[in-house]
Amino acid sequence: MTHYQSLFLDIDGTIVTPEDTIEDSTVSAVSAVQEQGILAVLATGRPIHEISHIAEKLSIQSFIGYNGAYGIHEEQDVFKFPMSRESVKYFIVTAQEKNHEIILYTHEYNLYTSPESERTKMFKKKLHLTKNKKMEAGDLDSILGMTVITDSPEGSVHYQAEGIHLPQVNVDGLRHCFDVIREDVNKGAGLRQFLKHLGLPAETAIAFGDGMNDKEMLASAGEGFAMGNAHPDLFPYAKHRTADVSSSGIYKGLQSLGLVK
């Protein structure tokens, strides 16, 4: 019987390759650990309602979405940390003043203040977003995360707010996008909430990631793996370094723990 009890997986650059595919080795590795009784959890900056196709391919039913703002285990809420109404209004008004676009996420929809703008259309297309609608006043209390599309690398300076950080999101063709995240919300905090809910110790958790929004998660797990293609600043937070996402990184990492052959 294995010592490990949970596996937390980032999606973009960890499960999903730059070609928008999932390697067969990743599917087989995740299946192999699940057969050993290890719980697999997708941990992503994406909205949970937009990852069902990945969840189905990997037979995963537990999620941390919106960079740690919402957790679900087998259709039951584990935690939910919506943004304050005041913060949401501030970002919407600032985006309108600066002629930027803003996308807001609830647990059901992607909301847009300017759904017909070219930058918004490109963002939806690049990220394959399907559950879209126009923002309404009644949505203000349900926002779990936001993305701002600006027009320069310095675009985030207009959005400095206490208790908020703005990691850059690299979307092909839209290089100046920033996620809006509460400083007390991250994947690591989500991982710890998940483990507490299930009564599982952190030392039995495994985590894989490639971006700086994964650093707390990798540091919180007993076995944290940075992908070979990870941001260089991520490696100090990980106990292990594995191969690239396109070179069976998840499979090889789990193999090093003796979980796959």
**What's the pTM value of the predicted model, to 2 decimals?**
0.91
* 35 contacts: CB under 8 Å, gap ≥ 6: none
Structure-token pair, residue 87: 């913060």
Give residue-wise pLDDT tens across range 69-95. Answer: 999 999 999 999 999 999 999 999 999
Mean pLDDT of 3-13: 96
* 229 contacts: CB under 8 Å, gap ≥ 6: 13, 210, 244, 245, 246, 249
Does residue 169 carry a pLDDT above 80? Answer: no
- Any idea where the domains of the chain sit in the sequence? 6-80+185-256, 85-182
Structure-token pair, residue 67: 């960079």
Residue 170: band (very low, low, confident or very high) from pLDDT cuts 50, 70, 90: low
| Matching residue, tokens 């989500």 | 190
Domain 6-80+185-256 sits in CATH at 3.40.50.1000
Does residue 171 carry a pLDDT above 80? Answer: no
Does the domain spanning 85-182 belong to CATH 3.30.1240.10? yes
Give residue-wise pLDDT tens across range 201-216. Answer: 999 999 999 998 899 9
